[in-house]
Structure 1
Amino acid sequence: MSGKTYPLAGNVRMRVLRASDAERMTDAYRLNRDHLAPWEPERPEEFFTTAGQARVVASKLAQHAEGSEVPFVLLDGDRVAGALTLTGIVRGPFLSAHLGYWVDKEYNGRGIGSAAIAAAVGFSRQELGLHRLQAATLTHNAASQKILKRSGFEEIGLAPRYLRIAGSWQDHILYQRILY
């Protein structure tokens, strides 16, 4: 499962995260710190270090080995152009996961987010056998809402104070895509 590479837009490709990606992830998060801050939880300073990213990557890979997460990295050569993660993978009668992603500020508007979501949808259906993907956006994140809708996700409701983002509990619009 971790060996396949998915071509996206331009030279960007997507593959499962590797332990050797920690330094690249550090560089990407440092470059995009201000860009991502309004959309993500507050991060401790350690998060922006190679040692911190090595711990994050190790945790994600442990969850991947357990079958509860698939962490993808979006790469343009050796540069991280973003990330996409399938988390909270549930088996049994639910067969569902949560999709989250971000794209480097310099790569916005190039179709990379849409291509990554399309690849993740195919992977979720074909490789994981999932029935459903869910995603959530801040109520004011029009760009992500547009990408999700274009990718076949439908709005299913509002979750008040859903996640602690940028230091405060914020409402999110929930989306889903039924895969089969």
Structure 2
Amino acid sequence: MIAPRSLTPDVLLRIATLDDAAGLADAYIRSWDHLKPWEPDRPDSWFTAAGQRDRLTSSLERYKDGRTVPWVLVEADRIVGAITLNDLVPGPFRSASLGYWLAIDAVGRGLATRAVEAVAEIADTELRLHRIEASTLTHNEASQRVLLRNGFAQIGMAPTYLHIAGAWQDCNLYQRILNDRAPGA
């Protein structure tokens, strides 16, 4: 089990639980106008506790299997964001994909930068990964700054990479090499 980490004196990064379903739904509802340009189209159920519980159930099953690590950012018992390592691959690849978002009331406080920094450290020291990758829409400069501040390098641009905000969108691709350890070392 990955231990919680303080990102600031008031914000905790911890593994998501099923009890977070209502808090995640609330965070999406209050932040959807802010998040919508960066997210896939979502069904109405996405914005309900039941919809988030279904999503969390699936995500936590993948966590038990070692394929995903889902965190939430919590401030005063209120969810203000989430960050996930997806598609963890063992063996010679030792890699995962990173995704994150912040609620509107958490933007501009350095929380995304701190969360990515903490997850990169966990990926290196606890999960023993070699690299993590991330993508951003080509015009998402704020997310690109978060990645660059955390040692990610742009490795390419993928045309029509993700279906976001109702259309296929071009994305910049990034990676961070965490270490040069051999697998299993």
Q: Which segment is superposed worse, 67-76 or 10-19?
A: 10-19
CA distance in 1 between counterparts of 2:128 and 2:114 reads 20
Unaligned 5+ segments in structure 2 are: 180-185
The CA RMSD over aligned residues, in Å, is 0.8
d(CA) in 1 for partners of 2:54, 2:99:
19
Q: Could you tell me how far apart the structure 1 residues matched to 2:58 and 2:28 are?
A: 17
Q: Which residue of 2 aligns with 1:160?
A: 159
Rounded Cα–Cα distance in structure 2 between residues aligned with 1:169 and 1:112: 28
Q: Partners in 2 of 1:171 and 1:98 — Cα distance?
A: 17
Identity of aligned residues (%): 49
Q: Partners of 1:34 and 1:44 in 2: how far apart?
A: 15
* CA distance in 1: counterparts of 2:17 and 2:53, whole angstroms: 10
Distance 1:116 1:123 in 2: 11
Normalised to the residue count of structure 2, the TM-score between the two structures is: 0.95
Alpha-carbon separation, structure 2, partners of 1:136 and 1:40:
12
Partner of 1:15: 14
How far the C-alpha of 1:98 sits from its partner, in A, is 0.4
Q: What SS class does the counterpart of residue 99 from structure 2 fall into?
A: strand
Instruction: Give the 3-state SS of the residue equivalent to 1:9 in structure 2.
Output: coil
Structure 2 counterpart SS, 1:177 = strand
Give 1:172's aligned residue.
171
Native 8 Å contact 1:17 1:73 kept in 2: yes
**Residues in 1 aligned to 2:78 and 2:178: alpha-carbon distance in whole angstroms:** 31
1:44 aligns with 2:49: no
Q: Which runs of 4+ in 1 moved over 6 A?
A: none
Aligned pairs, number: 179
Residue by residue, what CA displacement relative to the aligned partner does 1:85-131 show, whole Å, maximum 9, x if unpaired? 00011011000000000011111111100100010001101111000
SS for the counterpart of 2:40 is coil
